[in-house]
A and B are shown apart, each in its own frame.
Chain A
Amino acid sequence: MTPAARRLPVSGDATASQRAIDPELAGGRPEAAATVAAPSRREEVPGRRALLGLGPPLAVGAGLALTWHVAARASGGDLVPTPGEVALAIGELAGKGVLLDYVVASLFRVSWGFGLAVLLGVPLGLALGWYPAAFRALNPVLQLLRPISPIAWIPLAILWFGVSDLAPIFLIFLASVLPIAMAAAAAVHGIPVVYLRAARNFGLKGPLLVTKVILPAALPQLLTGLRLALGVAWMVVVAAEMIAVTSGLGYLIVDARNAGKRYDLVVAGMLLIGVIGLLLDQGLRRLERSGHVQR
């Protein structure tokens, strides 16, 4: 027995609730136990508990808004708009019909940039994780590119793509493709060796090995990487829109300042970016926790 093989069981020990449905321990036949075992994957959170869970974050939010309001008033209203003014500014954007346009413009660029990064980064990362030689050859280059902020690419992006949607899409792609590839490679490295041995034992190789074992085994960790990369992508779209285009939430912030020192609109843009970022993150979190992905 080698030390490496003495690892803990992959999915941990049976918990008390799992033991309860074990026919060996319940002393009955599995068929009898089956009626006891409700097929729920996680403990159900009752609606009331979910609502109570929203309490603390809402309280913190309200407290912050209040502090903000008091501080803005105390400063005489010159340094920062009050929450009320920002809310009115958002209403104004909605009234003019540009609120949705700007949000959609930003989401459109993120969808393309991030989507292309997934299409290229996931297969690249899986290959890097699977072939040690490829990893050794490419990793230094990837690590060299990684600390270069996507913002640093803006001059080249404008040179290559001009003032068009292509420049921000390119920047978002650049910002997310490396984290995605690294996450996919790490996810493959993290696949328990017994799964791969079992797969080889049953004669799986080539595309079937990838689709039936490597991808599903790597999926939980891969999704976490995708979620983090999406956060970066969303940050970059705003930065890119400040320079290269004339729509989107990043453009809104710069334009509001340049065109009329409308700081209420500036903060409104910031707030919208934060809220949409939160929603994107929650969406991918939900996917991560969904039944077939959670281990």
Chain B
Amino acid sequence: MCSADGAFISVRNLSVDFQPVGVLDRVSFDVAQGELVCVVGPSGCGKSTLLNVLAGFQAPTAGSVRIGGAEVDGPDKSRIAVFQESAVFPWLTVEENVGFGLLGLSRGERRRRVAAGIERVGLGGFEHAYPPQLSGGMKQRAEVARALATQARVLFMDEPFGALDFLTRLKLRADLLDIWRAERQTIVFITHDVEEAVQLADRVLVLSRRPAAVVAEVRIDLGRPRDLDAPAYLRARDRILELLGVTRA
């Protein structure tokens, strides 16, 4: 599954140009299997473009993305993207949304996976609700459940909790970590929120302004659940803020 150097996702010299400006400038990094990597950067720096290329929605101008040794040349069911603007389909119920990626499966298997996915994200009781009836947080839960139901081993998350209020965001982060610790998907999680990155990640990639390059990789060597007052947590956070050019008084 993995390439010779042990990387599961291998990004090499990835560049994207939207004329006349470059968006990504020779971005290179690796992600190990089962690792949770967060990508932070100034707003407008090209984080979403990076994710769109990783997920195969967009072709890079130069460079390559390899996942499990194979070159990415389009989206695939084995790696599912979760978006900030809820991408659950408003014309389908929660249950139908979660089962959406399972069209080829038998009825029984489909039902089992849909039920498990809904249970996993805590949406039990809302199977027959339509997304417009749900809050922003519940829509994002439904979208995560849809990704889980496909048993994708890679999740690309583009500020999935970015549009939610503070308390909902905290709860969804904690629940995502529970799911990840149980199932160990490989997760690339884009965020502009440094605190979120340090709370979640094994490793944080810091991008520069546009055209974005990887400025630094900060390993977060902290156990979970994380103590948000621990000196090591605060040090990691401040280091990243500094890398982003935010000076602290």
A24 contact from B55, B90, B124, B167, Cβ within 8 A = B167
Residues of B within 8 A of A3 (CB): 44
A-B pairs with the 7 shortest C-beta distances? A34-B125, A22-B135, A5-B48, A194-B87, A202-B101, A14-B135, A216-B91
B91 touches A194 (CB 8 A): no
Q: Kindly identify which residue among B18, B46, B91, B125 contacts A33, using a CB–CB cutoff of 8 Å.
A: B125
Interface residues of B in 205-219 (CB under 8 A from A): none
* Chain A residues with CB below 8 A from B75, complex form: 197, 200-201, 203
Provide the bound-state CA to CA distance between A203 and B74, in Å.
10
Tell me whether B83 is interfacial, beta carbon within 8 Å.
yes
The answer on a CB contact under 8 Å between A22 and B168 is: yes
In the complex, per-residue mask of B56-93: 1 if CB is within 8 Å of any chain A CB, else 0: 01000000000000000011110011011111011110
Does B6 lie at the interface of the complex (its beta carbon under 8 Å from any beta carbon of A)?
no
Decide if B135 touches A195 in the complex (CB within 8 Å): no
Residue of B with least CB distance to A27: B167
- Report the separation of the CA atoms of residues A19 and B138 in the bound assembly, to the nearest whole angstrom: 10
Contact A192-B89, Cβ < 8 Å, known A18-B135, A29-B122, A203-B76:
no
Distance in angstroms between the alpha carbons of A37 and B124 in the assembled complex: 13
Beyond A1-B41, A6-B43, whether A208 also contacts B167 by CB under 8 A is no
Chain B residues 162-212 with CB under 8 Å of chain A are: 163, 165, 167-168, 171-172, 190, 192
CA distance A10 to B86 in the complex (A): 7
Contact of B86 among A11, A19, A24 (CB under 8 A): A11
> How many Å from the CB of A4 to the closest CB on chain B?
8
Bound Cα distance A93, B82 (Å): 63
Determine whether the beta carbon of B171 is less than 8 Å from that of A24: yes
B91 touches A292 (CB 8 A): yes
B interface footprint on A1-32 (CB within 8 Å = 1, 0 otherwise)? 11101111111011000110111110001110
- A-B CB pair tally, cutoff 8 Å: 148
User: Are A213 and B86 touching (Cβ within 8 A)?
Assistant: no
Specify which of B81, B128, B135, B171 is in contact with A21 (CB 8 Å cutoff): B135
Kindly state the interface size class of chain A when it binds its partner: 35 or more
Given A21-B135, A24-B168, A295-B90, the answer on whether A202 and B85 have CB atoms closer than 8 Å is no
**Residue pair A14, B136 in contact (C-beta under 8 Å):** yes
Contact A34 B126 (CB under 8 A): yes
A212 to chain B, nearest CB (A): 8
Which residues of chain A in 12-69 are interfacial with respect to chain B, using CB atoms and an 8 Å cutoff?
A: 13-14, 18-19, 21-25, 29-31, 33-34, 37, 39, 41
- Chain A residue contacts of B123, Cβ below 8 A: 30
B113 CB to closest chain A CB (Å) equals 13
Report whether B90 and A1 are in contact in the complex, using a CB–CB cutoff of 8 Å. no
Q: How far is the CA of A19 from the CA of B101 in the complex (A)?
A: 28
B85–A2 touching, CB < 8 Å: no
In the complex, are the beta carbons of B47 and A1 less than 8 A apart?
yes
Residues in chain A near residue B165, CB distance under 8 A: 25
B13 CB-CB contact with A under 8 Å: no
CA distance A219 to B44 in the complex (A): 33
- A25-B132 CB under 8 A given contacts A34-B126, A213-B89: no
> Nearest chain A CB to B33's CB is how many angstroms away?
20
CA distance A195 to B90 in the complex (A): 10
Q: Does A100 contact B (CB under 8 A)?
A: no
19 residue pairs bridging A and B, Cβ less than 8 Å apart: A2-B48, A5-B49, A10-B86, A18-B134, A22-B134, A24-B171, A25-B137, A30-B122, A31-B125, A34-B124, A34-B126, A39-B129, A41-B132, A198-B81, A201-B55, A216-B92, A292-B91, A294-B132, A295-B132
A 195-217 contacts with B by CB, 8 A: 195, 197-198, 200-204, 208, 212-213, 216-217
Closest CB-CB distance, B197 to chain A, in whole Å? 14
A34 to B136, CA, bound (A): 16
Docked complex Cα distance between A195 and B146 (Å): 13
Q: How far is the CA of A11 from the CA of B139 in the complex (A)?
A: 10
Q: Is B1 an interface residue (CB 8 A)?
A: no
Contact of B9 with A by CB under 8 A: no
The answer to whether A9 and B81 touch (CB under 8 A), given A2-B49, A24-B137, A30-B122, is no
Task: With both chains docked as a complex, state the minimum distance between the C-beta of A294 and any C-beta of chain B, in angstroms.
Answer: 8
